[in-house]
Amino acid sequence: MMKKPRKEELKVVELYSREEIRDVVQVLAKEISEDYVPLLQKDNCQLVLVGILNGAVPFIGDLARELSQYFPLGMIQIDYLAISSYKGRKQKAQIRIEKDTKTPLKGKHILVIEDIVDSGRTLRQIVSIISAKEPASIKVCTLINRHKLQRREVEPDYVGLTFCKDSWLIGYGLDLDGFGRELPFIGYIVDP
C-alpha cells in the first residue's frame, strides 16, 4: 500500500496553464450552448449541470459562468453527485454514492460534469444512477479525457483536453488524496 505523500514531497510539473484551461472552458461552453439552447427552448425545460464532487468544482463553476452568456436566466441549474471511487492512485473495487443530487431530474436534460474520465467505470455507474431518475437526456462533459486504446462503455460527449500518458494529474480540482486541488493549473506528479 502506498503511503500518503507529504505535501512537501510532491513535485508537480505544469501541463496546462490557467489561461489554457480558461480557453478550453470557453470553447466547451460555446459547443454546449449550440447543442442545448435550441433544444431547451423547443422543450421548454432546463439543463441541469451535475458536477461530480470534489474534482469538478472549479470546472463546473467556470463552465457555468461561461454558459450564462448563452442561456437565458433560469434555464440552467447546478447540482452535485459525490462518488467514492479512488483511494490514492488505486481505483476501489466498490464505487459508493456519498452524496446524491437534490434537484428532481425527471424530464430534464442532464449534463454530467467530470474533471477527468479514465477507465469510464465510474462514469458508467454515474450515468446509470442518473438514468434511474428518468431525465429527458443525459450527456457527459469532461475537462480531461484520458485516452485509452480500448473502447469504453460510456464515452464523454464533450471533451476539453485529451491526455494519453499514465502520469497522475493534479490541480484545478484534480488531486492525490486531497493534495493539489487548489492549484490554478493542471500538472503531473513527478514521483520523488
Pull the grid cell for residue 140. 457527459
Rounded distance, CA 91 to CA 187, Å? 20
* CATH class (in words) of the domain with range 17-170: alpha beta
C-alpha cell at 48: 441541469
More confident residue, 190 or 84: 190
> Which pLDDT does position 21 carry in this prediction?
97
pLDDT tens per residue, range 8-47: 667 888 999 999 999 999 999 999 999 999 888 887 888 9
Q: How confident is the model over 68-108, as pLDDT tens digits?
A: 999 988 899 999 999 876 555 555 556 778 898 999 999 99
| Distance of alpha carbon 11 from alpha carbon 142, whole angstroms | 25
Q: Give, as one character, the DSSP assignment of residue 62.
A: H
pLDDT tens per residue, range 115-166: 999 878 888 889 999 999 999 999 999 999 987 655 677 889 999 998 888 7
User: pLDDT category, 1, cuts 50, 70, 90?
Assistant: very low
The residue with greater pLDDT, 152 or 169, is: 169
What pLDDT is attached to residue 121? 82
Residues known to be catalytic? 118
pLDDT at 92: 56
- State the Cα angle at 92 between 89 and 95, rounded to 5°: 130
pTM score = 0.87
Confidence of residue 5 (pLDDT cuts 50, 70, 90): low
Say if residues 144 and 161 touch (Cβ distance below 8 Å): yes
Per the rule left: phi > 0, alpha: psi between -120 and 50, beta: everything else, 38 is alpha
Rounded to an integer, what distance in angstroms lies between the CA atom of residue 52 and that of residue 145?
Answer: 15
CA distance 143 to 56: 9
Structural domain boundaries in the chain: 17-170
